[in-house]
Structure 1
Amino acid sequence: MKVLAYTSPARGHLNPMMGPLLELRRRGAEVHVRTLSAGVESVRAAGLEAEPLAPAIEAIEHTDHLASNQMASGARSYATLGARAPHEVPDFEAALDAIGPDLALVDCTTYGAKAVAERGGIPWAESQPFLLQESAPGVPAAGLGMRPLRAPLGPLRDRPLSMVASRFDSRFRLPPVNAGRRAAGLPRLAHIAESHHRAPLTLYYTAEPFDYPRPLPPSVRMVGPGLWDPPAAAPVELPAGDRPLVLVACSSEFQDDGAIAATALAGLRDRYRLVVTTAGVDPASLGDHGDALVDRFLPHGEILPHADVVVCHGGMGVTQKALSFGVPVCVVPWGRDQLDTAAHVVEAEAGTRVSRRRLSPARLAVAVEKARTCRPGAARVKAGYEATGGASAAADALEALLSPAPAR
């Protein structure tokens, strides 16, 4: 069996795919990955075939960190995805021609590649590394960082917010979908709801109780979070001592969130041992590190077994990876889907939240101390993830796409 995986140019979208892909490789599949150029060598080192996305795709970078509010940030993000979509069509077509896969796994934000997969008729699945965005009874509108409210207050609050979200979807989310479909020669869709789950299978990298209870379409399979890390060049040497250990993580895709790391160094260093991964933020810009271990990239999986709390921006990757180890999280949501991630953390009683606008060393220290009391909630989330079957269950679901349907 040949498998082609196609990601957006973001580590947070590549890494969750790797668990199922490596499991398929272990079972004998030939796996090819098209991903960001900076991730190619680590994918190859893991034993998979890999080539970079077309340069024109990576050249279109996110600018949402320049926005002044959540709505404008979202608009910028979807504009970027829409600009990439026409370039994805020939890039994905070329990969299909070169590999001739039996099965494709396509990232949910690559609208051009998804349109080609839908048009081509090969078995394919969608990779969903962040929370579902469609509305559901009792689930707040996506993007606003709201927690569920029971009736009668919940419906009264959610109805007008859903109208706002619907207008945003029509104005900003639907155009990228149709940009990809237009480039692939498919008819445009009239409503964003028509774009949901058009693949025969969606691998949804989460589980309850982290996600809110909701009815899922039959094609959506919860498989828990992705746990794969690119290997480190050398073993990670943690700071010495018996103080509690805090892992601080900035976004793997640049969001100009270095203030999280700087605030942690200022407010936590005296009481905690710190490991800080800055990704797109230059460690030299953070001033005195003291005895903290600061590096752009370190494998979180080597650090989390020793961590008491994780402080992060609320990306689904690091947040769920922490919780998969039973480690509570203090989230400072910086943008994108991170307000929602923070709300889910708090609702699950698996951690705390600090507003970006109110971030200070003192407030962060209080929130981290409170997060340390959230171990029971983090343990419940961990158990929910494990119950899904993880990468093995995801690989089973992908293989099932190639199985003949039972006779009726």
Structure 2
Amino acid sequence: MRILFTTFEGGGHVPPALVMAAALRRRGHDVLVISDEANRIDAEAMGLRFGAWVRAPNRKAKGAADDPLQDWRRRWPPAIVKSVVRSVLCGPAAAYAADTRDRIEAFRPDLIITNELLLGVMVAAERAAVPVAALTANVWCFPTRSDVPPFGPGWAPARSPHETRRDAVARRWIAAWYDAGLGDLNAARASLGLPPLARTLDQLATLERVVLGTSAAFDFGASPAPPPFVHAGRLLPEPDLRLAPHVRDWIDRGGPQVLVSFSTTYQGQAPVLSRCIRALERLGVRALVTTGPAVDVTSLPRAPNVLAVSHASHDALMGRMDLMISHGGHGTVIRALAAGTPVLCLPMGRDHPDNARRIVERGAGLTLSRGASSAAIARAASRLLGEERYAAGARRLARALAVDPSSRDRALDALEALDALEALAGRVAAEWPHPDRGREGPGPSLDAAA
């Protein structure tokens, strides 16, 4: 099977896409990855053929402040959604659709697997009648599942009729916010000769599979997930167990160990990193801060018990850590949880509040506001280090996460099964749940939850 993978530079969602692409290549498929130039080195290091976007946004470097989402600048939820719609989902949809059309003509894929935010890719796949699946690196971000809380607020699963109704109303509101990009999306569709849609999220009806790059043991909702969703477990690259000598020497000195790491994409995280350093200086624990390319290490305050470095392998560190302090990005926290390490989350946005809620519900950590003071961070870190129940919760979750390899195989099998299907757009549209759709199709309705 010829498989076209498409994604964009946005930090943590790229490695899972490359992991899945490499796994399918090892199964004998012909795989081509299209993304920003910044991802070329990583893709080619995994033996994958790579091409860069031409008309669509094409970032040359990771971690720069020109991150297209810019969602970290906003707090008001509708503004956050509209920012993502404008910068990725719909604003550049015509450019993504045109680039994908050209790749389809040249590569002739049997299947397209795309990041869930690239609606323009779905438009091109629909026009070419090529089956298309989505791969998300974490929990599902659109309000199209009634078995999980709506994405964004970081809510726990509904436990009362009132909360069930609240969730249903929130899904409808959130779905309407995406319609801010409907004009751009329909312009992209018109450029390829497709009719307009009534709602932005109706474009998701073209997806025949949605692969969730997380574990059912971590996620909320039904297990197994309802069609077209399938959990793939942790999609992490092969562990890198190398450590620089000065980092190894630092952690080998003993004592409680804390790892602090926020996003590798720029999200204005320097202030919260600084407060974390001041908090850990109060506690006197030994701490390591990794910044990635998004923050200059020299811009952070210094403390005698804190070492700040641009990079250190989290795979090599996790087994030695007693606590992780993080923004709550999925790729970061799942490494800690798989090692049985409790997590303190200070969500910056995106999937962070929802990941943090899942951690808290599992008894494996705590969450604070990203504006929390250094004193509040110190108190929460002290609780997590001092109360055994959090470490026990993290160890329980680690045991549940250990079954992930079989989940990945099931997800790969589900993708390969699409080779035997025609593009059944009508059937898929009937099955796909939508906040404004009642029981007219065989699939579950979000309104039914009310």
Question: Would you say same fold, with TM above 0.5?
Answer: yes
CA offsets 1:310-337 (integer angstroms, 9 cap, x no match): 2111222212232233322111011223
3-state SS of 2:419 partner:
coil
Matches within 5 A, 1:329-368: 329-357=343-371, 359-368=372-381
3-state SS of 2:5 partner:
strand
**Amino acid aligned to 1:97:** E
Retained in 2: the 8 A contact 1:3–1:102? Answer: yes
Retained in 1: the 8 A contact 2:243–2:313? Answer: no
Q: How many residues align?
A: 403
% identical aligned pairs: 27
**Unmatched tracts of structure 1, length 5 or more:** none
| Pairwise CA distance, 1:404 | 6.6
- Find 1:396's aligned residue among 383, 389, 413: 413
- Find 1:381's aligned residue among 363, 374, 397: 397
Q: Which residue of structure 1 aligns with residue 262 of structure 2?
A: 250
Distance 1:141 1:361 in 2: 30
| Pairwise CA distance, 1:57 | 0.7
Retained in 2: the 8 A contact 1:34–1:50? Answer: yes
| Pairwise CA distance, 1:374 | 1.9
Summarize the Cα distance change of 1:55–1:317 in structure 2 as closer, same or farther, 3 Å threshold.
farther
**Amino acid aligned to 1:75:** K
| Pairwise CA distance, 1:275 | 3.5
CA offsets 1:243-293 (integer angstroms, 9 cap, x no match): 222221221221111223212211114213323234312212113254544
Retained in 2: the 8 A contact 1:138–1:154? Answer: no
Q: Which residue of structure 1 aligns with residue 176 of structure 2?
A: 167
In terms of mean alpha carbon deviation, does 130-139 or 97-106 score higher? 130-139
Q: Which residue of structure 2 aligns with residue 181 of structure 1?
A: 189
Summarize the Cα distance change of 1:300–1:35 in structure 2 as closer, same or farther, 3 Å threshold.
farther
Summarize the Cα distance change of 1:267–1:142 in structure 2 as closer, same or farther, 3 Å threshold.
same
Matches within 5 A, 1:290-329: 290=304, 292-329=306-343
| Pairwise CA distance, 1:235 | 4.7
Summarize the Cα distance change of 1:143–1:184 in structure 2 as closer, same or farther, 3 Å threshold.
farther
| Pairwise CA distance, 1:120 | 1.8
3-state SS of 2:394 partner:
helix
2:218 counterpart of 1:204: no
**Amino acid aligned to 2:18:** M
| Pairwise CA distance, 1:403 | 4.1
Q: Which residue of structure 2 aligns with residue 370 of structure 1?
A: 383
Retained in 2: the 8 A contact 1:112–1:179? Answer: no
Q: Which residue of structure 1 aligns with residue 434 of structure 2?
A: none
Summarize the Cα distance change of 1:176–1:294 in structure 2 as closer, same or farther, 3 Å threshold.
farther
3-state SS of 1:266 partner:
helix
Distance 2:397 2:184 in 1: 33
3-state SS of 1:34 partner:
strand
Distance 1:76 1:233 in 2: 38
3-state SS of 1:402 partner:
helix
Retained in 2: the 8 A contact 1:19–1:391? Answer: no
Matches within 5 A, 1:216-235: 216-228=225-237, 235=244
| Pairwise CA distance, 1:41 | 0.7
Please provide the CA RMSD for this pair. 2.9
| Pairwise CA distance, 1:126 | 1.0
| Pairwise CA distance, 1:97 | 3.2
3-state SS of 1:398 partner:
helix
In terms of mean alpha carbon deviation, does 40-49 or 146-155 score higher? 146-155
**Unmatched tracts of structure 2, length 5 or more:** 60-65, 423-450
Distance 2:221 2:176 in 1: 25
TM-score by length of 1: 0.87
TM-score by length of 2: 0.80
Q: Which runs of 4+ in 1 moved over 6 A?
A: none
Retained in 1: the 8 A contact 2:56–2:99? Answer: no
Retained in 2: the 8 A contact 1:209–1:380? Answer: no
